[in-house]
Structure 1
């Protein structure tokens, strides 16, 4: 019987009718949800049909009016929304109170990006709201008013639009090409849409329905601003009028402030609103901490970025988003969205294993499955109308091309890391030799325009390839590091590995020297310049210290690179805390190596070895002069009979001598030089007045730190007796 309100009349029995409420209209359900007796969210396609990968089969009975899947922003009209707005950038669905009922199970910590209880609930006829009820949250933390007010206070710390424009231009011109973290066209579209939002006061409820990408975008913008301020030259930074003399802070201090504000904003949003934009901001934070010299914090931040990426399913291609409709523009935009996801996961995976191998720390991603790499596509400024088509072999290379090749090189580090578990004396070295051969074949397959020796410069004159010359100095370093990491566990037990490791180290140092010349002084914070040099120097010093009669034909070349590396670190000390800490350690190594090889007997004067006549103070001229080819002069020493009689080295230990195991050099820990200087407070003790002659000073400078007794530093700190053979 139909219930109506009382009108003062009587019903058929003569009794006054009671005031009754109108029944609520039953919730709208698609025909498939009705058949399966599932609760439907009333959208087209509905959530249940999408989870079953059958969105095309979702339809409603005649006359039913399902809600559109996307809702327009409360701050902009439907007429002004573009199909490539941040709302559609990652497929994030704005959830209201009705549609959120299907996600209650997520509040218990389950995720739909892997095999879990939630994944099985999607396969049976049980709705999430039938499994778990509303989970009460802390009213202070989840209250609309608190979140909105705190969010506004953080967003207000953004600089003016004019300043943002200059900083973002600098980022995309000078920084972004190195790893191609952000797609410029998408970022600028997000920035444009952000400026269009009308964030009116007391709009807490309207703020709640904004997509997660839109909420997180200011954090990404703050990280871009912070990175640009940190690496921008002082002269150019002074052009930012509204940032001059802000509270007396330096630009470096302001960079830290902006970066921490971005992280505070993401922390405020919490882990229930992670989006692709969130992970991009995480990644920029990792790079910022590395630039700033806070490597420990950077490693932890990288682990958090990986977890955030896994939370939204970047590690599984099966979780790629589906287009909302069959409209061509929507399908194309969804394809670009998938490319963004794959590019970001590729970068995270590459950084994860490279950082682990450099620092000697565990990788956050423990997965040897082959990644689905992004398509090497030409960069376009109009993605919604440009299909994702691969770049031709003769087309102009892009920073994405370099990023893909960088990952192809770095992914081999996972195989190298697996080999290290067998120790320094594996039963079979065939696995090492096979991987060495694969790396050398990979080196031969690198496109000619990326090669450091005899490169193809046909693209250099194209304006959009301004970054290409800089890439030639950095990409080969990754391959050199792979070879260093492959052979360093075996340098004390296998002559072939010593030879190949030494060759890789010298290649690395030469590439580092060329890279140093190609950059401006404000970019000395680039961590590439530190990690490659320091690890190579330590490995070379270890080889010549313990095997002084081997590879004497390369000794002069090695000593020259020792001096150049020390000069680079001293020049970088004003900008890089890492280089400042390691400069003294390099001087200590140089002193020890000269004593080990009896260098002064063949080069009595420090000026005998070809070197730059300029001090680090006159750095610009020094860089230019140092590029004069000295390799011929160095090699001439070996060609004209340079062959110092190698000293016979004996360990001298207190008491009754070392235990028998110490004579086996395979007991030494793997050499993670950068890890030791960062986490073990390693530093050399070098005195400017210390002569190099063993006769006048039999005691060598020491290395100080918290290293273990079987580390390379402990062995190097033992005194040596020298006797000519």
Structure 2
């Protein structure tokens, strides 16, 4: 007989023995039959379905109290007792503690099925939401806005001790199957990497609360235990991102003082993915998996894993939506102690930060698929607070905080759905004239947004940068990103702009934006600062645009202008070559070579000297004669050339993963004249007219200073 009580419509009256033997029972205890036969007579005890439905919330609440008491340490009993006290007071006042925040109350008028005025004004469509929520009980899903699920009754409720947020130590890594999948890095190295990440990289993604994550790591290093299996994936994501950044900088590699012979950044990334799948993250959903995936974008593209990143990121969006991260409510739950309120504040703020980064990544990836996943009209989570981690108190925008950079990027990113939607449906695009007018309007909106960016992100502020160590690199990063987003807005017409003067503004804008990107990229490289994944990606974008300008403008450019662009491309590819085991950078170099072959392979079968003479004549002749052919870009040849060379050389070069060997790290040394790089970067000041639209505007807004001081 099972110890689990059966659920029934009513309490059985017949005794258990008569029921089991299918005999008639007089329904008294003991019954006459059992007395006559000398049998033990008793009735089955069951759960009454009606009572369960009536008292279900109370049962869930008391069950959660029991679980908390079973896990609680002596010092944590007080908070559990306080929950019971609050519950008793609510019952005395005639209200019940409803831990299911996903079902907002909806009242019906007496005698009909219409919502009353209060219900109608408080939330349109709540009747549909209730039906959906009830139906989800059968599906085993939740549709609530109760994140972070500490005081709700949905299936995602976290059975944590309220005084130990995200650090319950309920998962023992060494005793789990994950120990066979993931080899832990040396604790001393890991501690240095995590510390470096929190002080120099977190500002770029802002997906963690640094004090909380640091405490989690310390607990893990000391005990081998953590809050959740998927926290291990977050841990490896942070380590992989940090190690990749550090291994490309001799300055910071020495600063971290890492031991040799440990895992590579690629191996750490691979372990992160294996941990996710070992923990069955698509079924056993957790916010930690979302954090791990979103942060891993910092390195996934550099490892040549853009497709994997795209699919993992799409899964992360759906996981976040299942958890209700897209519907985080402001404020904290009532009836909480000060400590519990702080813990909930931290978790909600981290949720907002991660959702903000997901908006950024989703909307900035629109050019790759001509679509976006997060509908701007279908989330209510606000931007993260402009606050410091130690108190999460809101500050004015004029104060730099850990959330400043991503808040600015999110504001820019929100332009992109309007950009792609304004072009018309994919199967019924608007006319080219309408599309181009829309692009120009979005260009102006982008410039208007840039004007609202805090001044310390636009211009060098020695006082603030002395207090905030990452502010200088954030300023340069924003200059690169803002210029690239201008290119992104004009992307639908970039190709046409090289073929038709009707789109000359796009060509001019994108060329000068590309020059700006390469200038800032060189500033970062010369200063010895960290080069993040966006720097590499946007450097490639800028270089490709200048390659198109070189190919299409060789007949009209002056010799100085032509050499300026070639010099910028050469120095950019030289910097990309210095990237240690960066597949994205290597592919960018091969792509540049494939495009420039359109120029270098020339206009015929003549020898090299003849070809150079012809090119020189084209550059010096402002009005080419009929002998000069109009240059076109053969994209088929470019793709064919790139694919062949990459398959033959590129993939082979990167087949063996990088292994750090005690301080040996590549450092870029300019070839030839040591001042060549600086001369090439600054050449636009000599060769480009000061009244060019983008250059004048950008230089005025981003009064960036060289980081070398």
Q: What TM-score do you get using the length of structure 1 for normalisation?
A: 0.61
Change in 2 beyond 3 A, CA 1:81/1:194: farther
- Residue 81 (structure 1) shift: 8.8
2:393 matches 1:389: yes
Residue in structure 1 matched with residue 609 of structure 2 by the alignment: none
Residue in structure 1 matched with residue 229 of structure 2 by the alignment: 215
- Work out which of the residue numbers 261, 271, 292 in structure 1 matches 2:271: 261
- Residue 285 (structure 1) shift: 3.1
- Work out which of the residue numbers 231, 234, 238 in structure 1 matches 2:245: 231
Change in 2 beyond 3 A, CA 1:364/1:12: closer
Change in 2 beyond 3 A, CA 1:240/1:504: closer
- Residue 155 (structure 1) shift: 7.5
- Residue 152 (structure 1) shift: 5.0
- Residue 438 (structure 1) shift: 0.9
2:496 matches 1:490: no
- Residue 16 (structure 1) shift: 7.8
Residue in structure 2 matched with residue 461 of structure 1 by the alignment: 466
Change in 2 beyond 3 A, CA 1:18/1:520: farther
Equivalence map 1:47-446=2 (5 Å) = 66-69=62-65, 71-72=67-68, 77-79=73-75, 120=131, 122=133, 151-154=177-180, 157-194=183-220, 214-233=228-247, 244-245=260-261, 251-252=263-264, 255-270=265-280, 271-317=282-328, 323=333, 325-357=335-367, 359-360=368-369, 362-367=371-376, 372-381=381-390, 386=391, 388-395=392-399, 397-420=400-423, 421=426, 422=429, 425-427=432-434, 429-446=436-453
Residue in structure 2 matched with residue 714 of structure 1 by the alignment: none
Q: Deviations over 1:669-709 (max 9, x none)?
A: xxxxxxxxxxxxxxxxxxxxxxxxxxxxxxxxxxxxxxxxx
SS of aligned partner of 1:348: helix
Which deviates the most, 219-228 or 187-196? 187-196
Cα contact 1:373–1:404 (8 A) shared by 2: no
- Residue 127 (structure 1) shift: 8.1
- Residue 448 (structure 1) shift: 1.3
Aligned residues: 525
Q: Deviations over 1:436-477 (max 9, x none)?
A: 2111111222111111xx433330111xx1111111111122
- Work out which of the residue numbers 17, 23, 40 in structure 1 matches 2:56: 40
Cα contact 2:237–2:292 (8 A) shared by 1: yes
Equivalence map 1:508-587=2 (5 Å) = 508-519=514-525, 526-543=532-549, 545-546=551-552, 557-572=564-579, 574-587=580-593
2:463 matches 1:480: no
SS of aligned partner of 1:399: coil
Instruction: Indicate the structure with greater helix content.
Output: 2
- Residue 245 (structure 1) shift: 3.6
Cα RMSD of the aligned pairs, angstroms, is 4.8
Q: Deviations over 1:19-73 (max 9, x none)?
A: 245764858x9xxx85x9446154465xxxxxxxxxxxxxxxxxxxx34458349
Gaps of 5+ in 2: 1-12, 18-28, 80-99, 101-124, 141-170, 604-611, 621-665, 691-709
Distance 2:597 2:136 in 1: 74
Residue in structure 1 matched with residue 454 of structure 2 by the alignment: 447
Cα contact 2:513–2:542 (8 A) shared by 1: no
Which deviates the most, 622-631 or 218-227? 622-631
Change in 2 beyond 3 A, CA 1:159/1:520: farther
Change in 2 beyond 3 A, CA 1:496/1:21: farther
Residue in structure 1 matched with residue 616 of structure 2 by the alignment: 600
Q: Deviations over 1:410-442 (max 9, x none)?
A: 222222222444367244643222212111111
Cα contact 2:189–2:258 (8 A) shared by 1: yes
Distance 2:182 2:308 in 1: 27
Change in 2 beyond 3 A, CA 1:478/1:369: farther
Distance 1:429 1:295 in 2: 30
- Residue 365 (structure 1) shift: 3.2
Which deviates the most, 532-541 or 346-355? 532-541
Residue in structure 2 matched with residue 667 of structure 1 by the alignment: none
Residue in structure 1 matched with residue 511 of structure 2 by the alignment: 505
Q: What TM-score do you get using the length of structure 2 for normalisation?
A: 0.62
Residue in structure 2 matched with residue 707 of structure 1 by the alignment: none
Cα contact 1:3–1:20 (8 A) shared by 2: yes
Cα contact 1:233–1:522 (8 A) shared by 2: no
SS of aligned partner of 1:182: coil
Gaps of 5+ in 1: 46-65, 84-101, 103-113, 130-144, 200-209, 605-614, 640-725
Change in 2 beyond 3 A, CA 1:239/1:632: closer
